[in-house]
Amino acid sequence: MTGRVPKPSKAPVTSNESFNIAGTAGTAGSAAGSAPAATPVATKGRILVVDDDRLVLATLVHGLAQAGFDIVDADNGDDAILLARQHKPDLALLDIRMDGLSGFDVAAYLREHLRIPFMFLSAFSDEATVNQIKALGALAYLVKPLDVAQVVPAVEAAFAQARERAGHGAPPAPVAAAAAPADPLAQPVAIAVGILMHRYSLGAAAALARLQKLADREGRPIEASARAMVQALEQLAAPGDL
């Protein structure tokens, strides 16, 4: 569920609140977006996830949904603001550098107009980026590449910080440093979701649901169906005999 909205004003926002950095430097890619992912009724909270990299977005949507969060995802800043207004997430996880509105633009809008706390996810950790993160008052800053095993505890800590800020006005607790990133190629579900997103022009949540239906029809775990899909495409992509 995505749509286009007018770009909000980019009024400067300042804050003395602290932030935290976890992860290691890496790279980013292309785009996708969709409505809330199907998750268990009793969730840990609703998160708006925004990233213009298909694989990163699919990985985050799947991993955070499996961890018990209700997910709303978008692949650009304009849709992120529209979805935030519609779904009122408890927290936003924002990529920084995207076409159109940046993660900083979205964060400023969320803070000024919706009072939604946020954290950043980016491949960039230069001084100017870090200074702007400080000024906006992010709960945390995660540096790519990393995997869901790193993101989930950081998100849980950010939720705790947001509740502490709202309830008691106490300074935020530090986000635990993430473990070393796992091999992204060892995540067949995320890769298969990215394949389906690309092939059928689906959002991450719809692609994940399609993969789950395929696994149900095949009578095997979603990981097994995802692995089979990836292996089949690898065979098709392999050079033929000359």
- What ranges do the domains of the chain cover? 21-168, 184-237
The answer on pLDDT for 67 being more than 70 is yes
Q: What percent of the chain has pLDDT over 70?
A: 71
* Pair 100, 63: CB distance under 8 Å: no
Tokens of 35: 């409505």
**Nearest-angstrom CA–CA distance, 198 and 201:** 5
Q: Provide the β-strand partners of residue 82.
A: none
The answer on pLDDT for 10 being more than 60 is no
Q: What is the pLDDT of residues 73-111, one digit of tens each?
A: 999 999 999 999 999 999 999 999 998 999 999 999 999
**Nearest-angstrom CA–CA distance, 109 and 130:** 19
Class of domain 21-168: alpha beta
The answer on pLDDT for 170 being more than 70 is no
* Pair 31, 52: CB distance under 8 Å: yes
| Per-residue pLDDT band at 182 (split at 50, 70, 90) | very low
Fill in the amino acid letter for 78: D
